[in-house]
């Protein structure tokens, strides 16, 4: 019986969440094997984390495709090539087509830096900060065809203090994200393995 879910992580940048997931795999009870990292940006810092952990990584630049479907098909082909069970979006800055999200439904998750359904879209941290809310946070959710929607798996809250600025708030949220993503992936992987 399979005892680890095969996971791919899709990134576009820094890769802090990727790093947290990679670190989590050092725990033998974490039901996940990270088998593949894909970035749509050649200069994504996160690719260095993949290299350090000896995980195969590929750059699939969306600019090389004439439409979203072709780009998504290329990603899907890579996922199939590596027999991936679960896809984690971790700062992946591309919208995926409905064909793709429907195919992976229940096996594709995303992290967003707000307490959804508040502050969807880009600049969620700034949106919350500017709105003057006193509590924000992060959400890990299943991905559906609609951006930043889909059933919520885990949320973590973060208090916005009077002396916080965008930078301090971003780093507080990032720390909570790393906890939330590991927790959510454990839930999703265990569920997958029980199927
Ligand atoms: C995170 O804030 C995540 O919620 C958002 O993009 C950011 C990615 O950060 N989707 P990192 O690349 O994982 O450090």
Name 152's bridge partners: 141
pLDDT, tens only, 39-73: 999 999 999 999 999 999 999 999 999 999 999 99
Nearest residue (by CA) to ligand 1, atom 9, is: 91
Confidence at residue 1, expressed as pLDDT on a 0 to 100 scale: 76
Q: Would the pLDDT of 176 be above 90?
A: yes
Q: Ligand 1 centre from 113 Cα, in Å?
A: 7
Nearest to 174 by CA among 20, 11, 47: 20
Q: Is 31 in the pocket of ligand 1 (CB under 6 A)?
A: no
Nearest residue (by CA) to ligand 1, atom 2, is: 113
**Mean of the per-residue pLDDT values of the chain:** 97
Q: Is 148 in the pocket of ligand 1 (CB under 6 A)?
A: no
H/E segment holding residue 166? helix 166-194
Give dist(CA 154, CA 90) in Å, integer: 15
Name 137's bridge partners: 157
């Amino acid at each position: 019986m399979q005892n680890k879910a095969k996971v791919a992580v899709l990134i576009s940048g820094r890769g802090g969440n990727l790093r947290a997931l990679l670190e989590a795999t050092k725990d033998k009870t974490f039901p996940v094997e990270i088998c593949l990292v894909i970035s749509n940006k050649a200069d994504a810092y996160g690719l260095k984390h993949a290299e350090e952990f000896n995980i195969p990584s590929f750059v699939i630049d969306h600019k090389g495709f004439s439409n979203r479907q072709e780009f998504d098909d290329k990603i899907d082909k890579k996922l199939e090539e590596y027999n991936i069970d679960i896809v984690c979006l971790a700062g992946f800055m591309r919208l995926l087509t409905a064909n793709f999200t429907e195919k992976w439904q229940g096996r594709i998750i995303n992290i967003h830096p707000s307490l959804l359904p508040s502050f969807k879209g880009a600049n969620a941290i700034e949106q919350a900060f500017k709105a003057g809310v006193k509590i924000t946070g992060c959400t890990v959710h299943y991905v559906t065809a609609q951006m930043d929607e889909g059933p919520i798996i885990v949320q973590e809250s973060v208090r916005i203090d009077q002396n916080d600025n965008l930078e301090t708030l971003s780093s507080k949220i990032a720390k909570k994200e790393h906890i939330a993503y590991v927790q959510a992936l454990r839930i999703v992987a265990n569920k997958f393995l029980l199927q």
